[in-house]
Homo-oligomer: A and B are copies of this chain.
Amino acid sequence: MQTYKAPLRDMRFVLNELHADAQPLPGLEDFTPDVADAILEEAGKFCTERLLPLNASGDEEGCRLENGVVRTPKGFPEAYRAFREGGWTAMGADPAYGGQGLPAGINKLVEEMICSTNLSFGLYPGLSHGAYQAIEGHASDELKAAYLPKLVDGTWSGTMCLTEPHCGTDLGLLRTKAVPQGDGSYAVTGSKIFISAGDHDLTENIVHLVLAKLPDAPKGVKGISLFLVPKFLPRADGSPGERNRVTCSALEHKMGIKASATCQMSFDDARGWLVGEPHKGLRAMFTMMNSERLSVGIQGLGAGEAAYQGAVAYARERLQGRALTGAKRPDLPADPILVHPDVRRMLMTIRAYNEGCRALGAWVARSLDVMEHHPDPAERRRAEDFCALMTPIVKALFTDLGFESASIGMQVYGGHGFIRDHGMEQYVRDARISMIYEGTNGVQALDLVGRKLPAHAGRYLRSFFHPVLAALDEAIDDDDLAPLAQPLSKAFGALQLATAHIAQKGLKDPDEAGAAATEYLRLFGLVALGYVWLRSAKVAHAALKAGTDERAFYEAKLTTARFYMERILPQVAGLLAAVKAGKGAMMALDEAMF
């Protein structure tokens, strides 16, 4: 049986203690800590009561394509209705379209809960939100008025149709065509694959955002346009009318997220409308991709949290062997496996990842809010730089660690983790996809070294390096924090060296940057987690000194910070060596010899 309890205390910690500002951002004054608490509590309740019970059954049953219509697993339509009626589809949307205008800081925490309890379910509203953003950012007022309120209230849902059988990362190769019909609409024709929520029975209409080429399109990625193609063409009164010529031709059979309908879609002169300018579809799509990438990172964290809770529950209840230092529970036939150092190593590792990722994710989410709401343009720009820099890191790091955590959680169960009964193996299968979609983690690493590092002569980097330097300066002379600041300082030194290496070598030879990319991203990510752990420890020390009545919580924070710094962060040494090794051994092998 899968188990989950929303980690509300830690969520409040990152939201109200770690990243709290002296005063709320203009326009977000209503979202006081009390309001945030109430929202998180309610979300936790919904996820635990409605989504978690459908997680294993949804995986078991999967989706079916029947007479051209996709059926989601038992219970999904009812859960979606409750989700919609609870207003959860409107969370992050603009009040102008019926949204609740929730800060990203809160929104991303709710997303984490959804991903922990039912990742497959979460993809349906998740994709809608992506579609919402692309339309909101780039479509005409007419399209906005017709589609956004429906996406916001959740009666309609959205998709992103990018991938084709022969092209995924390299969108320049795509073949889907859009021909102007003279009435402002376009006839869209082509095949798309891997379309999440491409068809399903949860909403009365589905709004596809489709990349396609106009007849006069230049070659490559500069000739791609974005189109809005609804499943049903809206009538004048806004209700879904005539069926459009877009169909789900097949469902993919996948390793995981089986309750998410991953569709092959056929567009056959389907009627669509241009979103944004001709040939500039990638820009519009990337608006939504960046936000989606953060959300995919959060999926990794969600998996990690679910794995942690499952593993802890089992480690408490499974009796096997005796503590190496003598029986801890002589009243029982054996000790709970939680007494064994190696089991604790596994649990502490996931815990350090989760709390670190939650703190880092909350910082990025907070920066999204600053970007949008801060009155000072310099602050907005700094926040934008920071989000641009951290997006690939959050996406790749969190999903790598999420998958690793799911696998560790399973390992705690031994053989009982490999069989389906406890649900741990589902977390491993589900978590694996997040390392792939919305740009593989290798593509994220290339984005980091190829675009984000060199942008504006390294300006993005400063949005991270400056706060780290300031925190280290302050902590190194603080008796409480120095033991944590020392390993971080060393790791940060490694990051600076690696950055210099890439800046120097990569400029001359892009293969050098490419060869270093994945290890550099991990190095960067581990330092970023180290930084939020240092700051978390600072908050915890302050609370303990102030005589908090939650000593156990803050002491656990300090123990976990120490675990991270001592046992995980030192991996940066090996990563730096790999970065410095260069492309030599990687590019030398003759193609024929692979």
Q: A residues near B, CB below 8 A? A: 163, 166-170, 172-173, 193-194, 252-256, 262, 312, 315-316, 319-321, 323-325, 333-334, 338, 340-348, 351, 403, 407, 410-411, 414-415, 417-421, 425, 428-429, 432-433, 435-437, 440-442, 445-446, 509-511, 513-515, 517-519, 552-553, 555-556, 559-560, 562-563, 566-568, 570-574, 577-578, 581, 583-594
Contacts and interface: CB of A to CB of B under 8 A. Distances in A.
Interface centre among A168, A343, A425, A589 (most CB of B within 10 A): A589
Given A324-B511, A566-B581, A594-B338, A589 B560 contact: yes
A253 B415 CA distance: 12
Nearest to A582: B566
12 contacts: A170-B319, A170-B334, A255-B428, A255-B429, A338-B591, A342-B518, A347-B594, A411-B441, A414-B436, A567-B581, A567-B585, A567-B586
B556 A593 contact: yes
B419 A254 contact: yes
Contact of A253 (B333, B420, B586): B420
B594 A168 contact: no
A509 B326 CA distance: 11
A319 to B, nearest CB: 7
A92 to B, nearest CB: 26
A281 to B, nearest CB: 18
B168 A320 contact: yes
Contacts of A518: 342, 345
Contact of A418 (B254, B323, B418, B442): B254
A271 to B, nearest CB: 28
Contacts of A172: 334
B510 A587 contact: no
Contacts of A170: 319-321, 334
Contact of A566 (B312, B342, B419, B578): B578
A578 B574 contact: no
Nearest to A165: B416
A312 B440 contact: no
Contacts of A420: 253-255
A592 B517 CA distance: 40
Contacts of A345: 515, 518, 586
Contacts of A589: 344, 348, 556, 559-560
Given A173-B320, A411-B442, 4 more contacts: A170-B320, A342-B445, A344-B589, A559-B589
Given A340-B514, A342-B514, A442-B346, A436 B415 contact: yes
State the copy count for this chain: 2
Interface centre among A415, A446, A510, A553 (most CB of B within 10 A): A415
B570 A572 contact: no
A334 B219 CA distance: 13
A446 B344 contact: no
B556 A590 contact: yes
A contact patch SS: helix
Interface centre among A167, A419, A428 (most CB of B within 10 A): A419
Contacts of A585: 348, 559-560, 562-563, 566-567
A325 B510 contact: yes
A588 B321 CA distance: 20
Q: Which 3 A-B pairs have the closest CB atoms?
A: A570-B577, A341-B514, A573-B573
Contact of A319 (B166, B316, B333, B593): B166
A10 to B, nearest CB: 12
A573 B523 CA distance: 14
Nearest to A566: B581
Given A574-B572, A578-B567, A552 B437 contact: no
Contacts of A441: 411
A577 B420 CA distance: 36
Contact of A571 (B428, B510, B574): B574
A585 B252 CA distance: 44
A168 B414 contact: yes
A517 B435 contact: no
B562 A584 contact: yes
A7 B72 CA distance: 44
A570 B563 contact: no
A253 B419 contact: yes
A532 to B, nearest CB: 17
Contacts of A559: 585, 588-589
A436 B419 contact: no
Contacts of A514: 324, 340-342
Contacts of A590: 552, 555-556
Nearest to A322: B170
B429 A411 contact: no
Nearest to A435: B411
Contacts of A347: 594
Contacts of A163: 415
B435 A587 contact: no
A304 B587 CA distance: 21
Nearest to A337: B169
A585 B555 CA distance: 11
Nearest to A579: B567
Nearest to A487: B577
Contact of A342 (B338, B437, B517, B563): B517
A411 B428 contact: no
A445 to B, nearest CB: 7
Contacts of A567: 519, 577-578, 581, 585-586
Nearest to A509: B325
